[in-house]
Amino acid sequence: MRLIALEEAFWAPGLKTKGMFTETKPPWRPELLERVVTRLTDFTEHRLPEMDRLGVDVQVLSVGAPGIQAQPDADIAVSDARLANDYLAEVVGKHPDRFAGFAALPLQDPERAVTELRRAVEELGFVGALVNDHTNGHYLDEPQYAQVWAELERLDVPLYIHPSPPAEPWSVIAGHPVLDGPLFSWQATTGGHAMRLIYGRVFDRFPGARIILGHMGEFLPLQLSRIDNIHRMLDLPELPDRTPSEYFGRNIAITTTGVFSHAVLLAAIDAIGLDNVMFSVDYPYDDSEKGVEFIRTAPLSPADLAKVASGNAERILKLHR
């Protein structure tokens, strides 16, 4: 069975923007930190051999969180995005059958972000873009990003919205820093970002735009029944054209990143449809062996499993063998 993993991180040497694992250190066990740091900038010593051993055919690579979005200086963000994309294009060029790329976008300057997106797709051959949630507190439903959505729609490529540290401290997690990260806050805030796009009517204005959410949809698929129910109670002048659940599949797909639960997988498929769920691991942060075992043993028919494992990614990203 062919396996394509979509949310797999790297870090480019020479970036002026600070990386979460390259300059700062989350409160992880030392051996895990060392593993992540050594693998973010590696492609041949650890990454490809592990992919070969586990049977992962393709990784779609992207700059790790918080990535370019954390850079306060727009000029540096533009140069860092270009550097990261050129570096990634070189890596993909050396291993075109094993790697593909999501572009880093300097959303600090939307006009130059459009230019870089166009270059990354049309010249470098990338299959989409990835942004790490907000850009210095700005979200993608804001008016200045309309040109970015228009270009994504024109190029017919998806935008992966990946988690990142929240823009402002949450009082609900104050005093519990362990909650400020992938344990809880990242999923909640990234799911909130997607809800902003729905209620900001981004997909009504750009019906051909598509986003991808990791981690089984950042809490949203399993809450869609309640979200739709509350939506129907609203009496507001500027509601989306459809119920929130109707944007899943039409404009929103998800990956399994880091959620290695068959119960959640089946529930997500039931909620948003088989054609909108794609396999991912979250390399090098999460355990590839667990991720591959999870997908290979999933209680799906061979045809359905093939869609989640690779077929949906091939279609959505236009990945050709």
Which tens digit of pLDDT belongs to each residue from 95-152? 999 999 999 999 999 999 999 999 999 999 999 999 999 999 999 999 999 999 999 9
pLDDT at 24: 60
Identify whether the C-beta of residue 65 lies closer than 8 Å to the C-beta of residue 40.
no
According to DSSP, the β-strands at 58-63 and 211-213 are unpaired
pLDDT at 317: 98
Q: What is the largest CA-CA distance in the chain?
A: 57
Average pLDDT (230-235) is 95
pLDDT at 297: 98
Residue 25 has pLDDT above 80, yes or no: no
Average pLDDT (309-317) is 98
pLDDT at 20: 62
pLDDT at 169: 82
Distances (CA, A) of 190 to 56, 105, 162, 166: 27, 17, 7, 9
Task: Write the secondary structure of the chain as one string of H (helix), E (strand) and C (coil).
Answer: CCCEEEEEEECCCCCCCCCCCCCCCCCCCHHHHHHHHHHHCCCCCCHHHHHHHHCCCEEEEEECCCHHHHCCCHHHHHHHHHHHHHHHHHHHHHCCCCEEEEEECCCCCHHHHHHHHHHHHHCCCCCEEEEECCECCECCCCHHHHHHHHHHHHHCCCEEEECCCCCCCCHHHCCCHHHCCCCCHHHHHHHHHHHHHHHCCHHHHCCCCCEEECHHHHCCHHHHHHHHHHHHHCCCCCCCCCCHHHHECCCEEEECCCCCCHHHHHHHHHHHCHHHEECCCCCCCCCHHHHHHHHHCCCCCHHHHHHHHHHHHHHHHCCCC
Residue 165 has pLDDT above 90, yes or no: no
- Kindly indicate the confidence band of residue 198, based on its pLDDT and cuts at 50, 70 and 90: very high
Annotate 63-74 with b (16+ C-beta within 10 A) or e (fewer): bbbbbbbbbeeb
CA angle 125, 130, 136 (to 5 degrees): 135
Q: Which of the pair, 218 or 183, is modelled with greater confidence?
A: 218
pLDDT at 31: 78
- Kindly indicate the confidence band of residue 23, based on its pLDDT and cuts at 50, 70 and 90: low
Average pLDDT (149-173) is 92
pLDDT at 46: 96
User: How far does CA 228 lie from the centroid of its chain?
Assistant: 24
Residue 233 has pLDDT above 90, yes or no: yes
- Kindly indicate the confidence band of residue 179, based on its pLDDT and cuts at 50, 70 and 90: confident
Judged by average pLDDT, the poorest of 5-9, 165-169, 252-256 is 165-169
pTM higher than the cut 0.75: yes
- Kindly indicate the confidence band of residue 167, based on its pLDDT and cuts at 50, 70 and 90: confident
Report the distance separating Cα 292 and Cα 232, nearest Å.
39
- Kindly indicate the confidence band of residue 212, based on its pLDDT and cuts at 50, 70 and 90: very high
Q: What percent of the chain has pLDDT over 90?
A: 83
Mean pLDDT of the chain: 94
The contacts of residue 134 (CB under 8 Å, 6+ apart) are 69, 164, 167, 189, 193
Active site residues: 282
Identify whether the C-beta of residue 319 lies closer than 8 Å to the C-beta of residue 58.
yes
- Tens digits of residue pLDDT in 60-106: 999 998 899 999 999 999 999 999 999 999 999 999 999 999 999 99
Judged by average pLDDT, the poorest of 162-176, 195-209, 222-236 is 162-176
pLDDT at 21: 61
- Tens digits of residue pLDDT in 287-299: 999 999 999 999 9
- Tens digits of residue pLDDT in 250-281: 999 999 999 999 999 999 999 999 999 999 99
Domains and CATH numbers, the chain: 4-317 (3.20.20.140)
